[in-house]
Structure 1
Amino acid sequence: MSIPQSGGGLIEHFAQLAELLESGCKPKTDWRLGTEHEKFGWLEGSHAPLPYAGDRSISALFAGLIDRHGWQAVREGEHIIGLTRNGANISLEPGGQFELSGAPLVSVNDTAAELQNHLDEVAGIAGPLGIRFMGIGAAPEWRHDQMPVMPKGRYRLMTDYMGRVGTHGTQMMYRTCTVQVNLDYASEADMVQKLRVALALQPVATALFASSPFFDGKPNGHKSWRSRIWRGLDNARTGMLPFAFDQGFGFQQYVDWVLDAPMYFVYRDGKYINALGQSFRDFLKGELPALPGEKPTLSDWADHMTTVFPEARVKKYIEMRGADCGDQAHIVALPAFWVGLMYDQTALDAAWDLVKGLDTETREGLRVAASVAGLQGEAGGVKIADLAQAAVGLSHAGLAARGMGEERHLAPLVTSLKAGKVQADRWLDLYHGEWGGDLTAIYAAASL
């Protein structure tokens, strides 16, 4: 989940909303990638989720990272709710999922090094405390009432609202983990092409990175339960954005969709003001019930843009949001997959040729099929395994064309395609095989 955004001063004319997105356009020489991943902390001995406070806790980890590695505290009131250093951030998801939002980097090789350094720093502090972390898409055993609640005002508001607008919102907040990559665009036309390819191929990412076949202590019937959760969260702010494939789509059409998503909050003076279900369009007119007579700033707009959760999201860059978190190699494979497709024009054009014939029904069908069956899924006569094979091949070619040796980071995906199995299949095989239906082994097996 995002921290408060810095967008700018008072919104004086409507065009500024789209202009904020347009300001993200940059030449290819300035393109970077930023990788984010969430992971579950747990306590050795009990397998309990990592609490916020105490001797063995998130607070203890924060203190160690500040004292030993030069991270700086991000506070909300009296609580440290995140850390920052050299363009990177460590933040907390609602249930204490520990998230690294990496700095903007030049290559996937840099991402791999950044991740290794982060895991080493965390392990050096966590290990002596009997704290470990696991990379998996959904909490295998923990119930909702077992999850800690982080001291962030945004999450208190969202928890209440999620329970009223969907069936799975609090599951997403407290018991799932993802990995995503944020990528740049050169122009509005480049954004449109990249977003369309990203949306159409998110089911492939969901299938290749599926690692959440357990929930509430048993198999859940899906390879990616995390993906299933997103389909039952809040239809006003999630999904595959079919309008993005309409002729004439651009920054303004995306802005119009975000404006129609009900608000969560307004951030003022370090506090989150309840604006649940209210309209940003009313805010623009100075008619927001939460702040009568006050008009929004660009920072308010930037905040509101973080409260929509489509499978690929536009800000001043594009976020690829369809993948479960997994092991260390898969965390790096996710940015490799998308960089190969998005940052080489030949690969991007070929990827668009691959998916441009898919209609809305097929794209949505593939999304569902990827969640349920992973690489074995299909919809509209399209087999996910075939689409994944083609997409990974294009990504490999795109990475090779960059000449940085990044294509080696696709190795976990190549292995999955050869075997026809992903991380979720491995966990299920172990569960039904040597583990004998006992999930306690997964904590160590999925550790990062």
Structure 2
Amino acid sequence: MSNKQQVSGDAAPVAHKADMIALFERGEKPAGDWRIGTEHEKFVFRKADHRQPSWEEKGGIRDLLEAFGRYGWEPLLESGRIIAATGADGSLSLEPAGQFELSGAPLETLHQTCDETGRHRQQCLAIGEELGLGFLGLGFNPTATRAELPWMPKGRYAIMRGHMPKVGGLGLDMMQRTCTVQVNLDYSSEADMVKKFRVSLALQPVATALFANSPFTQGKPNGYLSYRSHIWTDTDPARTGMLPFVFDEGFGYERYCDYMLDVPMYFAYRDGRYVDAAGLSFRDFIDGRLPVLPGVQATYGDWKDHLSTAFPEVRLKSFLEMRGADSGPQSRICALPALWVGLLYDQTALDAAYALVKGWSIEAQQKLRDDVPRLALKAQAPGGGSVQALAKEVLAIAAGGLDRRARLNAAGDSEAGFLEPLWEIAESGRTLAEHWLERFHGPWGGKIDPIWDEALF
């Protein structure tokens, strides 16, 4: 989730739809300027008792963030408290219960992306060793109840915490108990955005299946392979889902803008504080008729904030965000951007992926989305066959795209090598979630404790 940082131009008012659409238009870049932005979260836990630490306790989240200063990270404060940091590798931030996130810098190659992830991991391990902290790579907290988890001192989270139970049954679980990895990718034009949006939205459940890694709740199997993905189905229907309108004729920037104007607000940020606007209309904010800020007109910065409060499977800002994957170990974090870069950043691959999905009905896409959290690769793909078979086809397209990109490292290695963990899953039909379930029912003897040693980031 976003941190609040003021950017030049954010104070300009948005009075017309064209002002809002301009944000999407400004995201257009020629292919030579396309970049890869990878974000990944992990659970922080105390090695002594596997408990997630609070922000304020000794050796807790505050101390963790402050310790990154030795590596050149600059702190970001909210109400005088450190809640994030910025540096050459992007930004560090906190999810609601202290899940720790790196939002990586925009990079040219996947080799750079994996180097960035490796640096972050080494920094985490060094600081964690001093503070007695570990970092867990799963999509859902395997043991804790919500009541056992802390809350981070961020104003937007307090507003969301109060609103979530009013609109869904699992929103607080999403906030406190999930971790994801996602990649942010560019587009060259409105038409390019539309094609990439459609391909990535239709194939997002395939990514969910390949990255399924959240099979436990409170120490026991929960009946899902990606429980994190299931949680989104009961979080808030006004701001989640598969967005079938993306496949309508004429879809583009304006239609996504209309969707976002229909998404209820969470907050507005004024005078250094978050104002609770949960459930109110951004349209009223544009007109200066927001009840909690009468006479105050929405700005460009407010629109950027509002775009960050919708959580569909793929999200449009001034780039496209792929949001379907559970978090995991470092190799999976490198594999997620490899999958989507291979599919979307090579025209031949994009055309092949589009040909694969363009005949799928909205109903078939929704069924795939509904089935994958429980069945993963064993779910049925649109048109017949298994998701496992579909995943192999998708990976082959992505591998071809990466090879044609021809971004080699110093050793002459193609970016396609980062897909190897996904090929292992697709060939075996065995997700990481199923691996952990086999361990739970076998060598672990029905005990969850070993996961804290074996599922590390």
TM superposition score category, shorter chain reference: over 0.9
Q: How far 1:99 moved relative to its partner? A: 0.2
Secondary structure of the structure 1 residue equivalent to 2:98: coil
Q: How far 1:63 moved relative to its partner? A: 1.8
Q: How far 1:12 moved relative to its partner? A: 3.4
Residue 408 in structure 1 maps to residue 417 in structure 2: yes
Structure 1 residues 236-271: Cα deviation after superposition (integer angstroms, max 9, x where no partner): 000001000000000000000000010000011221
Q: Distance in 2 between matches of 1:33 and 1:59?
A: 29
Q: Which residue of structure 1 lines up, in the alignment, with residue 47 of structure 2?
A: 44
Q: Distance in 2 between matches of 1:143 and 1:322?
A: 23
Q: How far 1:433 moved relative to its partner? A: 0.5
Q: Distance in 2 between matches of 1:275 and 1:383?
A: 44
Equivalent residue for 1:173, pick from 172, 175, 189: 175
Q: Is the 8 A contact 2:15 2:287 kept in 1?
A: no
For 1:435, give the aligned amino acid.
W
Q: Distance in 2 between matches of 1:99 and 1:307?
A: 17
For 2:16, give the aligned amino acid.
H
For 1:362, give the aligned amino acid.
A
For 2:397, give the aligned amino acid.
L
Q: Which residue of structure 1 lines up, in the alignment, with residue 432 of structure 2?
A: 423
Residue 338 in structure 1 maps to residue 347 in structure 2: no
Equivalent residue for 1:433, pick from 407, 428, 442: 442
Q: Which residue of structure 2 lines up, in the alignment, with residue 251 of structure 1?
A: 253
Q: Is the 8 A contact 2:183 2:322 kept in 1?
A: yes
Superposed CA RMSD in Å reads: 1.0
Equivalent residue for 1:187, pick from 182, 186, 189: 189
Q: Distance in 1 between matches of 2:89 and 2:250?
A: 35
Q: How far 1:227 moved relative to its partner? A: 0.3
Within a 5 Å distance, the mapping from 1:49-448 to structure 2 comes to 49-66=52-69, 68-86=70-88, 88-378=90-380, 380=382, 381-404=384-407, 405-448=414-457
Q: Which residue of structure 1 lines up, in the alignment, with residue 16 of structure 2?
A: 13
Q: Is the 8 A contact 1:90 1:101 kept in 2?
A: yes
Q: Distance in 2 between matches of 1:124 and 1:231?
A: 37
Q: How far 1:418 moved relative to its partner? A: 1.3
Q: Which residue of structure 2 lines up, in the alignment, with residue 24 of structure 1?
A: 27
Gaps of 5+ in 2: 408-413
Q: Is the 8 A contact 2:53 2:61 kept in 1?
A: yes
Q: How far 1:123 moved relative to its partner? A: 1.1
Q: Distance in 1 between matches of 2:161 and 2:62?
A: 22
Secondary structure of the structure 2 residue equivalent to 1:139: coil
Q: How far 1:87 moved relative to its partner? A: 5.7
Q: Is the 8 A contact 2:266 2:309 kept in 1?
A: yes
* Superposition TM-score, scaled by structure 1 size: 0.98
Secondary structure of the structure 2 residue equivalent to 1:294: coil
Q: Is the 8 A contact 2:89 2:116 kept in 1?
A: no
Q: Is the 8 A contact 1:274 1:290 kept in 2?
A: yes
Equivalent residue for 1:34, pick from 32, 37, 44: 37
For 1:385, give the aligned amino acid.
Q
* Superposition TM-score, scaled by structure 2 size: 0.96
The farther-off stretch of 180-189 and 124-133 is 124-133
Q: Distance in 1 between matches of 2:198 and 2:390?
A: 15
For 2:47, give the aligned amino acid.
E
Q: Is the 8 A contact 1:369 1:379 kept in 2?
A: no
Structure 1 residues 77-135: Cα deviation after superposition (integer angstroms, max 9, x where no partner): 12100000126000000010000000000011101000000111121111122110011
Q: Distance in 2 between matches of 1:421 and 1:12?
A: 52
Structure 1 residues 160-203: Cα deviation after superposition (integer angstroms, max 9, x where no partner): 10011001000000000000000000000000000000100000
Q: Is the 8 A contact 1:33 1:182 kept in 2?
A: yes
Q: Is the 8 A contact 1:39 1:135 kept in 2?
A: yes
Q: Distance in 1 between matches of 2:28 and 2:247?
A: 20
Q: Distance in 2 between matches of 1:416 and 1:125?
A: 32
Structure 1 residues 378-431: Cα deviation after superposition (integer angstroms, max 9, x where no partner): 155352112211111100000000112100000001001111101001000000
Q: Is the 8 A contact 1:36 1:100 kept in 2?
A: yes
Q: Which residue of structure 1 lines up, in the alignment, with residue 410 of structure 2?
A: none
Distance change (3 Å), C-alpha of 1:351 and 1:379: closer
Gaps of 5+ in 1: none
Q: Which residue of structure 2 lines up, in the alignment, with residue 2 of structure 1?
A: 2
Q: Distance in 2 between matches of 1:249 and 1:418?
A: 36
Q: Distance in 1 between matches of 2:222 and 2:65?
A: 34
Secondary structure of the structure 2 residue equivalent to 1:378: coil
Secondary structure of the structure 2 residue equivalent to 1:113: helix
Q: Is the 8 A contact 1:431 1:439 kept in 2?
A: yes
Q: How far 1:206 moved relative to its partner? A: 0.3
For 2:441, give the aligned amino acid.
H
Aligned pairs, how many? 447
Secondary structure of the structure 2 residue equivalent to 1:231: helix
Q: Distance in 2 between matches of 1:420 and 1:347?
A: 24
Secondary structure of the structure 2 residue equivalent to 1:357: coil
Q: How far 1:4 moved relative to its partner? A: 2.2
Report percent identity of matched pairs.
Answer: 49
Secondary structure of the structure 2 residue equivalent to 1:189: helix
Q: Distance in 1 between matches of 2:35 and 2:381?
A: 34
